[in-house]
Structure 1
Amino acid sequence: MGLTGKRALVTGSSAGLGRAIAEMLAAEGASVIVHGRDPDRTHTVAERIRADGGDATAVLGDLTSAADSTSVAEAAGEVDILVNNAGCYDGLSWRELTDDRWSQIYQVNVVSGVRMIGHLVPGMRTRGWGRVIQIGGGLAIQPAATAPHYSATLAARHNLTVSLARELAGTGVTANIVAPGAILTDPARELTLKAAEEAGWGPDWDDVERAASNSWFPNDIGRFGRPEEIAAAVTFLASERAAYISGADIRVDGGTVRAIS
């Protein structure tokens, strides 16, 4: 993939999708900065990558803080690949949401990423090579009734990424979106098993997964995605082989979103 010698920062990479992305980028030869807020989890991921022969360092910080964002960027140094993965989801409904919660999730899911773009993309532009990859989601264009604030932040991520791609035209820096569907992270598995017990979906995981897929997010593959499948899409977009792709929305959702665009 041509990533040997490249330096990558993956925000929110102490667990879940971010961890899978950091591990795969490192396996392809990139030097990875693992970011998180929990010291134990963040350092554990970096240590695991090093144990597997990769190059990784850990950096801590709350990206909703301007001061912490600056510290993370300074610790990261000259970054060639920025993966804005950090974010949150709470599942609140319209009736449960407050004005403050709308503002808070926007700070976490949108402004934090914009801060990192502001810190790191100018250096990419100067060096004439870079990749910005935003983790979005199908709810950006096909929202559900629940969690409207979360869907709105995904839409903002998608929109600003295309704007950034236009801004970076001709610089050697690209900006793209990877939009996951429902992914089998540890919390998703726990939630699914709890729902399976209540719904009587059966003890076999294959049956449970198929039933959950059909009930919650119908898709053409009939299962959850795996973190490694998202990581593979990110790794490709980060690579030399994706130099002709910018402003794109790469959906990795099993066909959940049914659109031609």
Structure 2
Amino acid sequence: MDFQLTGKRALVTGSSSGLGEATAKLLAAEGAEVVIHGRDEARAAAVAKTIREAGGAATLAIGGLDTDAGADGVATAALSDGPVDILVNNVGVFDMSMDWTTTTPDHWADIYNVNVISSVRLIQRLVPTMRERRWGRVIQIGSVTGHLSSARQPHYNATNAARDNLAQSLARELRESGVTSNSVAPGGLLTDVNKEMLIGFGKANNMGETWEEIEPNVTRALAPNDVGRIARLDEVAAAVAYLASPVAGYITGVTLHIDGGWYAQ
């Protein structure tokens, strides 16, 4: 399918690794000029280099989004080569070790600042020009935990619910403007770091010795879903690319769950 992204510019936050990197690479392969964002310039530059070597177009925007000054710098860099048509708010943090007994009010404030307010900062800086041009796409990356919460990571789960709500509220604000706002909520994601952790967990709990043996068992234990495996990065990136494209112009204010039919925690 042609996502019709040639000539569009996309800022993907947190795109120096993981899902952000996969999303930026796919958008670039579909013809968009992408702005690679991260705190580590060397890592972000390596992603941009890979995209250019594959025939795509990529620039850099380096800096944190946890302060207004940081967001100013990132927005300025992103806009230096032209307007941003697509904003993918992918930056987020989590800590699977945290629970109700270990999270403090400061933990709640810190994660809300990174996972929610950082998105608001870029929305306020980039969306007004989208509205003026009467075309744009804003996509929040959250998690299925915003809908199916658990006792662990209550502060993280709450930020994902907030991200979904933010996307819907923004859609109402942008009604009839040509700019859409949606959220993507993945389940488990098979990053290199997660795969290593899951293999260790599986071996420690007698779930097998190889990834092929361990994956279905660890999925049932930690992320039970109807497909029976962990999501691949390119599967979630494809959903983001679709929502970012002109062909998804009649979709706004929704949360798209890419979770294999996750049915329990």
Range of TM-score over shorter length = over 0.9
Q: Which runs of 5+ in 1 are unaligned?
A: none
1:17 equivalent among 1, 16, 19: 19
Structure 2: which amino acid aligns with 1:224?
I
SS in 1 for 2:180: strand
Tell me the distance in 1 between the aligned counterparts of 2:202 and 2:237: 28
2:130 equivalent among 115, 124, 147: 124
Tell me the distance in 2 between the aligned counterparts of 1:163 and 1:21: 24
Structure 1: which amino acid aligns with 2:21?
R
SS in 2 for 1:34: strand
Aligned twin of 2:146: 140
Q: TM-score, normalised by structure 2?
A: 0.96
Q: CA deviation at 1:113?
A: 0.4
Aligned twin of 2:112: 106
Q: CA deviation at 1:68?
A: 1.1
* Contact 1:135-1:178 at 8 Å conserved across structures: yes
Aligned twin of 1:5: 7
Aligned twin of 1:58: 60
Identity of aligned residues (%): 52
Aligned twin of 1:42: 44
Q: 1:253 to 1:233 in 2, by over 3 A?
A: same
Q: CA deviation at 1:204?
A: 2.2
Q: CA deviation at 1:256?
A: 0.2
2:33 equivalent among 14, 31, 34: 31
Aligned twin of 1:238: 244
Tell me the distance in 2 between the aligned counterparts of 1:189 and 1:223: 12
SS in 1 for 2:36: strand
Deviations 1:216-237 (A, max 9, x none): 0110111000000010000000
2:176 equivalent among 170, 178, 183: 170
Aligned twin of 1:88: 93
Q: TM-score, normalised by structure 1?
A: 0.97
Q: CA deviation at 1:257?
A: 4.4
The number of residue pairs the alignment matches comes to 258
Query: Alpha carbon RMSD of aligned pairs, Å?
Result: 0.9
> After the TM superposition, which segments of 4 or more aligned residues of structure 1 sit over 4 Å from their partners?
none
Q: CA deviation at 1:174?
A: 0.1
Aligned twin of 2:155: 149
Tell me the distance in 2 between the aligned counterparts of 1:17 and 1:243: 23
SS in 1 for 2:261: coil
Deviations 1:148-182 (A, max 9, x none): 00000001100011000011000000000111010
2:223 equivalent among 211, 217, 233: 217
* Contact 1:7-1:80 at 8 Å conserved across structures: yes
Tell me the distance in 2 between the aligned counterparts of 1:249 and 1:257: 16
Q: CA deviation at 1:58?
A: 1.5
